[in-house]
Structure 1
């Protein structure tokens, strides 16, 4: 992986920012740099600075020729049939427009290129899982995959209060604003373009979207065999490209769900049965581990159970506070530090494995937010706004968010719906919202900024997404995509039960296959995600310290503009047991306080800071 910053604009201003950009990047890395590179064009119209977390990353992810330069980062898989994605993308950028490049790259990535044909281009993949940010400084467009780099480059200590206010209500930021004043993200499905050496910047929407247009209300209950064959071929090519990127054994994360089993089907369909080692993480007695082990035994692949032992020693609260500050630096104040106590350091070994991430995007409107599962919003379009207001969780559980920002957020959601209804078929609005405001602003920062854990995502393909969205919401909700691809590649996996899930009964007999009518029974009751042990102990033992932090922020920052600090502090003292959502709200408040107090501690994933 690399962290980078690219400059384009007036030559005098680019030259002036060039040295500062190098310092800004080095001051905001999430890893100990193994190599670095910086270059400025002869005329000074553009420049870039990049650092890599391992030897060879710079040459792999940056192509620079007389015709231009291209930087591409993230677990990108391929461009067409080429695994040299930065080179192929640079070549394409000298001949084709952004639409062509966007349509031919698979995987998760962000890309910046500078050529005489297109000038400066910058965008991320269609799923939003590798965010990219920009700002304008003195006639220079500055682009980076670290928003905090641009914040430092601006020389600004200002934070975007409106953006941070989303954390209290939803645990992550919505929209294209960032926690830093003057720094914005390039929304998934859009691209930034600026002429070479110019300060004129435009944000364009890709014409060849994955989302079906609202001028065509027709959708299909099934795809043709040829369309399914295209999907299978694309996914297999992605899998083979991902396999080529693995330095060691082929390790597959296998849970009791359908996404990871689909990736297993891709491995089996690619003839790699003997190369596979599956692994599952979970506590003692986990149904996920039991189910995955059963599947591995039946199909004859290796399985490793990573059993997580309960915490037995008392929590080191000082270390937990350190980790929360590290999390705030690494994730750039973007998300609630739900997993803040796991934000360790000294992760010296870079690991890479394949994941079924992205499968939820193809699972229908209810695949990522349960309130859309019954498709009631299709009959009553007036209720859809309320479903987005409480997206993924009840908004503002403690009722402490200021009325100013609560009303502003409702207004923003209304405007988002009004704008997107004009261009996108109504039934895919939940998925579009999911991509732009959950994947881009939660999963994206997580995946992009923990640079020692590389998750290869073979399910991500714009061509596959467009075909899947031809299907009706009913067909997507019953997981026709997962079933059909699995049936074509590894039919033996279809009949094996899942943890806490089954196939839709209408799929019985499809391709002559039987489905399991009941979920996997391990003898242990399945429990959904709950408050983690470290969180419960932290809140029990650190109530006064949490309140002191919030009160300190109230005295010296404008945190009170965001939420009622006194009321939240009373809740913290009075609430004996907190729910998931309430824990998220308090952790988000801690993150906001650390941000506004500038208590963000640098931590490197690879070695000491």
Structure 2
């Protein structure tokens, strides 16, 4: 949405160079279109800030950028004032009122900002890492930006590839440890404060004490749910202030998991459900995520605003290779091209997401904490480490030692052994993968990630290991913000037995089986091994091998060349970890081959054309016939739409009919009934759990939902009993007649 680049020149003889920085070159290294470039420099010319905006609206510009003769400030994200005054300070107001204070003492929310005061710079960001900061230092200057590729536009920046970063890509599929693809560029730890003056840069980075809140730890031990009431108020207030600040509605990705559901609850607590303009779920109709999200949408009055984004079964070669180079450019060469992100569509909405895997899905939570030696040994056995076994013995061994040193650093800061696994997820995984993806999402417009704000991170890390393992934080936030949503089935998850047991005397935690646990649910599509990504890997294996064999001196420094030849000559189907790391190797190959040119529009296009011609692409046809048959079946049901719409007054029956056509199982009918019951409520004029026109949820009502008598009669019948009764009357002989019968049961009654 907007980017900044700040440069402080060390030598007076080089000061004039900053005035010659080519604006067109800056634009070329920006992955999205640039509508305007603003710049400020100090009177001496020693310090300069460039601000690039994708939108020319003056009312938005004032929220990002302000300058006068002696000072300037550029902001990305939304710094939310911690004071009782909830009005967001715009850039000018912040600078003129608070220029001598650290931003972290004044603001919550998510942001990074740079302040220029005469010939000095101050740069700060939040702990969550959703607005990353990159720095390059040479003998001549210090340069800082929120977009790594902009540093490549500065004369004098070396574009030499960092071999250590390439090892990370081959090792686990993303660059860690504060490195970048280029030797002269580093990624700053989130939450740091950088001060540059008199030709020197100093960095104050957060330590364990900055991630821990002892008062909350004690309160959560005594009142494990009530302790989070202030946090719910803070987060819901943050979202409400964010919406007011940008003056836009919400764009809500809704999965079948816990993170997006908690975000939906927080939006409700802040009175923001009416401002949700669109929610969407990605996946095939028969996937558990889609079924769970549709159920959730029907329960919350969002069904009319919920969209389904169906992934392609296969992609044309030109499209697939183009997505590879685009994804590499957008993620700045830091991630495996397993994540085939595209340029986000510019939408007039705030994109709000969860991104909370750091405190829920720790890789190393099962590792022994009896001693650090035992913990370190378990770390290298627990998560995937070099799954393709590509690193040669000595570099591989050394690299694993470097990996363990990350945890040693946390221990030296005073972090307890039992928090190392979660602290790693926050400081490494969130910063180096989630932060990159969030920065990418910001190219399409404003973003909000309430579950990675400083307060949430401190709250999660302040809990006991048992409470973190039980996901108490997520349950408490949802229980306090939208209790009705705790009982709706997830796609592939549920509240743990340990949580239900620990909360037994305090609260009733719903015991609801997820959709995927049901034997009759056909798990025919893995989101982690989709056909088009396997096709991509198979297509580029020869390219990877060719580059490795032609550059043995380079790759031989850290790869086992014999093992690499065996892996990339093979046609064996990869598992998920092998696919991630195999495409991580491809990222490293592209970086070595094309270098900095990949981060310009022209260079990216040139690489795409060359790779498209060279790749031996052969799309997988497995499942095409069955997929086509399902599509034809689904298409035949379209003819029923008008009849169902007029006969039963609901679009929901049609939507569920499509689902049933692809699933063909009892669980589909059960899901359809649940949604139709809620739609019947709305059809009769009653309120849904929380509808866009309804009042906020009654916090005292812990029931999942209240149905009318007739609807409850249908709901109380098990789906199998319903079908048995229908079949005994000869009503259900085909999928279509089953749909018709269920609709009739809902709107005309079915007697026991």
Normalized against structure 1, the TM-score is what? 0.86
Match for 1:175 among 174, 177, 191?
A: 177
- Structure with bigger gyration radius: 2
Residue of structure 2 in register with 1:17 after alignment: 18
Is 2:577 the partner of 1:581?
A: yes
Instruction: Give the match for residue 386 of structure 1.
Output: 377
Residue 352 and residue 389 in structure 1: after superposition, are their counterparts in 2 closer, same or farther (change >3 A)?
farther
**CA separation of 1:223 and 1:139: change in aligned 2, threshold 3 A:** farther
Local SS of the residue matching 1:47: strand
Contact kept? 2:39, 2:51, Cα under 8 Å? yes
Residue 597 of structure 1 corresponds to 593
Q: CA deviation at 1:24?
A: 4.9
Q: 2:492: which partner in 1?
A: 500
2:700 maps to which residue? none
1:143-292 alignment, distance < 5 Å: 143-153=144-154, 154-195=156-197, 198-206=198-206, 209-212=209-212, 221-223=221-223, 227-244=227-244, 248-276=248-276, 277-292=278-293
Moved more, 126-135 or 84-93: 84-93
Residue by residue, what CA displacement relative to the aligned partner does 1:150-181 show, whole Å, maximum 9, x if unpaired? 24423423111112211111111111221111
Counterpart CA distance in 2 for 1:176 and 1:514 is 40
Q: Identify which of 529, 532, 540 aligns with 2:530.
A: 532
State whether residues 331 and 436 of structure 2, in contact with CA within 8 Å, keep that contact through their aligned partners in structure 1.
Answer: yes
| Whole-angstrom distance in 2 between the partners of 1:250 and 1:181 | 39
Structure 2 CA distance, aligned partners of 1:286 and 1:413?
A: 36
- Residue number in structure 2 paired with 1:39: 40
Change (3 A) 1:461 1:407: same
- What CA RMSD, in Å, does the superposition of the two structures yield over aligned residues? 3.2
Residues 203-212 or 176-185, more deviating:
203-212
The answer to whether the 8 Å contact 1:7/1:46 transfers is yes
The corresponding residue for 2:703 is none
Local SS of the residue matching 1:7:
strand
CA distance in 1 between partners of 2:268 and 2:89 (Å): 25
CA distance in 1, matches of 2:453, 2:249: 24
Partner of 2:560: 564
The residue matched to 2:368 in structure 1 has which SS? Answer: helix
Partner of 2:718: none
Partner secondary structure for residue 378 of structure 1 = coil
Correspondence for 1:113 among 73, 96, 115: 115
Deviation digits for residues 317-366 of structure 1 (CA, Å, limit 9, x no counterpart): 344333323333332221111133x53x6x653364443424334x4xxx
Task: Measure the CA separation in 1 of the matches of 2:180 and 2:593.
Answer: 17
CA 1:408–1:202: 2 relative to 1, 3 Å: farther
Aligned counterpart for 1:405 among listed residues 392, 395, 408: 395
Retained in 2: the 8 A contact 1:177–1:185?
Answer: yes
Work out whether residues 254 and 260 of structure 1, in 8 Å CA contact, stay in contact via their aligned partners in 2. Answer: yes
User: 2:354 corresponds to which residue?
Assistant: 357
The equivalent position to 1:515 in structure 2, one of 505, 510, 524, is 510
**Aligned ranges 1:410-489 → 2 under 5 Å:** 410-426=400-416, 427-450=418-441, 451-452=443-444, 454-489=446-481
What SS does the aligned partner of 1:469 have? helix
- 1:64-123: CA deviation from partner (whole Å, max 9, x where unpaired): 24562221114x352333423534542465231x2xx1244333322211236x942223
CA apart distance, 1:22: 3.7
Say if 2:136 and 2:185, in contact at 8 Å, map to a contact too.
yes
Structure 1 residues 538 and 322, CA, compared in 2 at 3 Å: closer, same or farther? Answer: same
C-alpha displacement at 1:30, in angstroms? Answer: 0.6
Q: 1:252 to 1:213 in 2, by over 3 A?
A: closer
SS at the partner of 2:113? strand
**Which range is displaced more, 573-582 or 293-302?**
293-302
Unaligned runs of 5+ in 1: none
Q: Which moved more, 1:475-484 or 1:226-235?
A: 226-235
Partner SS for 1:405: helix
State the partner residue of 1:123: 124
**Structure 1 segment 78-93 matched on structure 2, within 5 A:** 78-80=80-82, 81-84=86-89, 86-87=91-92, 89-91=94-96, 93=98
Shift of 1:219: 9.0
Return the alpha-carbon distance in structure 2 between the equivalents of residues 274 and 3 of structure 1: 31
Note the C-alpha offset of 1:602. 4.3
TM-score by length of 2: 0.71
Q: Is the 8 A contact 1:219 1:471 kept in 2?
A: no
Take 1:138 and 1:541, find their aligned partners in 2: how far apart are those partners?
43
Q: Paired residue for 1:49?
A: 50
Q: Helix, strand or coil: the match of 2:124? A: strand
The change in CA–CA distance for 1:490 and 1:323 in structure 2 (over 3 A counts) is: closer
Residue deviations 1:284-330, cap 9 Å, x none? 21211111211222233334241415425xx4334433332333333
What SS does the aligned partner of 2:114 have? strand
- Alpha-carbon spacing, 1:272–1:47, altered in 2? closer, same or farther (3 Å): closer
Unaligned stretches of 5+ residues in structure 2: 607-752
Change (3 A) 1:308 1:156: same
Q: Deviations over 1:251-307 (max 9, x none)?
A: 322222111111111122223444434322211212111112112222333342414
The answer as to whether partners of 1:166 and 1:172 remain within 8 angstroms in 2 is yes
Within 2, Cα distance between the matches of 1:155 and 1:485? 46
Deviation at 1:6, TM superposition (A): 0.3
